[in-house]
Structure 1
Amino acid sequence: MTPTQANPVIYPGWWIVLAAGSGQMLQGGFIFWSMGLYTAAFEDVFGAPRAQINLIETCLTVSTNLLSPIAGILIDRWSVRHLMMIGLTAMGLGLIVLSQAGTLLHVWAVWASLIPLGVLLIGAIPGAAVISRWFIRRRGLALGLAATGSSIGGFLMPPLMTWMFLEWDWRTALIVAGCVCFAFMPVFYFLLRNHPHDLGLSGEPGSEATLAGAPHPDTTQWQIPELLKSRPFWLQMIASGSLLAVTLGMLANLSLHAKDLGVTGQATAVLYTLIAACSFCGKALAGYLMDRLGIQRCGYLICAFLSSGLLILFLWQSYPGLVAGAVVLGIGYGGVVPLWTSMPARTFGAGSVGRALGVMNPLHIPITATSAPLAGYISDTTGSYDGVFWMYGGCCALAAIALTLMGSVISSSAR
């Protein structure tokens, strides 16, 4: 069969989106959204200080960022299908091995090895790389829908893990979680394909490349030194890093701001549920708008939503204000990951998405790693979060400036 002969009723790229979203669901649900459950269990079992318990996040962050550039190169060169299956295996094994931990050192070792390998190889970077090869005209929507997997994982996995923790114990819960990861192996095996050509397709129906009878523009691969010399790469790093700093910092500090306003823990939990729900909508909406308005204009909207949420929190310091701010922030927060994963494909081509995102990850560290501690320092020294809201508003402005300087590279829509 030649690449132009196949014309399925349902474009197979949507099955790729489903598989990529499943990976982000498992990654987000069992690791990021459930991390608080693990730290509480480890504290009870090992009796260690919280500073030592929380080193699991440090182990994960450092290892993930060190491995990220290597993973990016592999994603662009090798089979994403096979790499994501390796990542799923690492994630499942990591959770099962973690269930047998006898010391805190054992826990740190797992969070520095198997878990970060799984996080990298089933998460946003390989998903964005393979989706970018399958989509041009509706790439933003596809990336946005895949990113909702993390939000779905946030809804499903923590309640499931909490129930298993209470009904059985944390060790059994981790074994079950590992088995759930392995149960998704057929999804990756049967649904994932690296490129439309693997199924005899020329590309996404209606895209310019398909209409011209040409393959998707993924043959050119930028090398890491070339990326580091590229002005658009650094502008994208600044834009995405600034917005990630806002979202990560606010997620870490919103509960503390609510506590300062006298809000109870249960009411604070509602705020995070609202953020998760609105981020789900924000991811799909951002993806849809990127295809119609262009990445740059959609980026401006994301900056506007985040800035508006911060302004609401600054001006309306009560529980209704927290609720309103959480809703608006959640929508903006949802758009950040689709924006970050969309920019490299438009600038460097689908064949360099893995490298670009992989190299950006460690470069984000100075911005993202200092965001939450700096916000806490400002709050401690000033007695309020007003200065924090201004600081994060400045981050949104910096992101908007970087988007503007990118100019025509990302300004047009995919239509």
Structure 2
Amino acid sequence: MAIEVPVKRKHKIFPGWWTVLTGGILSLWGFGFQAYGFSAFLKPLAADLGLSRAVTSGVSSLSRLEGGLEAPLAGWLADKYGSRGICFIGVFIAGLGFSLMYFVHSMVSFYLVWGVIVAIGFNLGLSVPVDAAIAKWFVKKRGTALSIRNVLSGLSGVITLPLVTWLLSQYGWRVTLVIGGIGMWLLLPLTWFLIKPHRPEYYGLLPDGAERDIGGTADITATINAGVKYAAEVNEVEFTLRQAFKTSALWIIIFANSMHGMVQPAVSLHGIPLLTDMGVSPMVASGAMSLMVFMSIPGRFIGGVVADRAPIGYLRYILAISYSVQCIGLLIFLKWQTLPTAYIFFILYGIGMGAGMAINAPLRGRYYGRKGFATIGGAMSLLNTPVGIIAPVYVGWTYDATGSYIKALLILTALLATAIIAICFAKPPKPPAEVTDVTKFL
């Protein structure tokens, strides 16, 4: 039975929304260069450095390896000390890495700068700690809050990617990345002043902007306990990392994410080369990639809103539907390999990608609570790392060996179908036998 907590609404802007805005702006600029932008950099980088596509793609795998190894530590630090300082350091390092790309002239320096320095920056500044900062400030509106951040992240492929492509055509990839680095540094003040280091209970507030009717005089422990009761209204309980890993649901989610995680980086990295190999100009190919990201935007927002309103037991099925839309897009392109079907593929893939992205983090929050959100998410990232390393290199190697991406896309479609089936079995876990003390660290 839901536990009722008397609340009142504040009229001023809830601080959690400033965290959402900051994370969104960081993603809007940063991912336009690092994630979506790398597809535009792929061919000129490979040509300038004399590398094959498989070797050039390999830096993406190194980034994922570094991210997977770093994620548990980043998550642990975010849960223990708060996200603000971690994000600030990460954004600074990301800007430094972009700027250092100007001096890259070999495979070794390319792998060191992009695969290590840039990766460290993004994994600290724009990944698990940002999501944790948002997730800790919201419960009933968590899906919506994360979806707004994801929408702004998606706009990086619509707004920032065309800018990156234009800069690339005018000034080359070195100057373009220096501009990206300067932009990251200009965002550092937002990171420090608008991301809060603690959950709202430490500031006398309840999640979502709800406040108890107590005149603001309760101590922190009482407010934290009120926050636990507030979360219980949507059947959310707190798990530690150890407790979460004792549930079968977490292992199923990790497996499904691993299968799906082989598809996303491959499509993002090789999408533009796939189209240019079909005779499409780089600008038009970039536009098609932007279309995919643009179509993900309604999925990102609607998926988050649905995640807030759906019963906890339905979230896995909604996630499976989003994966299915992506799978249908792949199947259509594989059946009729033409430019129009490539556009259909990007449209459907974008819609499903956006919805899945919006549901995944809220699902983890609803299943395992806020206390260990970043630590659990970081551990999951580590276990998902191996397949994320394999996928981009495998797709690049397949192209180098066969001159086509089709064989790799067939394998990726099968893996996506496996993820769809698996996630349906991730039932909500039962509450832990031992109640988690949220006033203590994990």
TM-score range, shorter chain: 0.7 to 0.9
Shift of 1:126: 1.5
5 Å matches for 1:315-354? 315-354=335-374
Shift, 1:345, TM fit: 1.3
Q: Hey, what does 1:300 align to over in structure 2?
A: 320
Q: How many Å separate the matches in 2 of 1:48 and 1:300?
A: 38
- With 11-20 and 30-39 compared, the bigger mean Cα shift is at 30-39
For 1:188, give the aligned amino acid. Answer: T
Instruction: Give the AA of the match of 1:239.
Output: A
Q: CA deviation at 1:52?
A: 4.8
1:75-90 equivalences in 2 (<5 Å): 75-90=78-93
| Alpha-carbon shift at residue 332 of structure 1 (Å) | 0.3
CA distance in 1, matches of 2:148, 2:266: 24
Query: Which residue number corresponds to residue 222 of structure 1?
Result: 240
Offset at 1:181? 1.0
Match of 1:133 in 2: 136
Query: Residue 199 of structure 2: which of 195, 201, 223 is its match?
Result: 195
Give the corresponding residue for 1:69: 72
Are the counterparts in 1 of residues 102 and 178 from structure 2 also a CA contact under 8 Å? yes
Q: Deviation of residue 81 (structure 1)?
A: 0.9
When the two structures are superposed, what TM-score results if normalisation uses the length of structure 1? Answer: 0.83
Distance (Å, rounded) in 1 between the aligned partners of 2:273 and 2:165: 23
The 2-side partners of 1:329 and 1:264 are apart by 19
Q: CA RMSD in A?
A: 3.6
> Aligned pair in 2 of structure 1 residues 309, 170: CA closer, same or farther (>3 Å)?
closer
CA contact (8 A) 2:39 2:273 kept: no
Identity within the alignment, %? 23
**Structure 2: runs of 5 or more not aligned:** 1-5, 213-221, 431-442
Are residues 25 and 8 of structure 1, via their aligned partners in 2, closer, same or farther at CA, if it must alter by over 3 Å? same
For the residues of structure 1 that align with 2:261 and 2:251, how far apart are their CA atoms? Answer: 15
Give yes or no for contact 1:129–1:351 (8 Å, CA) kept in 2: no
1:358 is aligned to 378
Aligned to 2:280: 264
Mapped contact 2:90–2:125 kept (Cα < 8 A): yes
Conservation of the 8 A alpha-carbon contact between 1:124 and 1:147? no
Q: Could you tell me how far apart the structure 1 residues matched to 2:78 and 2:289 are?
A: 33
Query: CA, structure 1 residues 45+396, in 2 after alignment: closer, same or farther (shift >3 Å)?
Result: closer
Q: Secondary structure at the match of 1:406?
A: coil
Separation (CA, whole Å) in 1 of partners of 2:258 and 2:378: 13
Amino acid of the structure 1 residue aligned with 2:150: A
How much does 1:75 deviate?
A: 1.5
Which secondary structure does the structure 1 equivalent of 2:329 belong to?
helix
Q: Is the 8 A contact 2:304 2:358 kept in 1?
A: yes
Q: Which amino acid aligns with 2:112?
A: A
Q: Please, which moves more after superposition, 393-402 or 23-32?
A: 393-402
2: CA distance between counterparts of 1:367 and 1:48?
23
Q: What count of residue pairs does the alignment treat as equivalent?
A: 404
Residue aligning to 2:182: 179
Paired with 2:253 and 2:208, the residues of 1 have a C-alpha distance of 26
Question: 1:87–1:117: 8 Å Cα contact kept in structure 2?
Answer: yes
Deviation at 1:61, TM superposition (A): 2.2
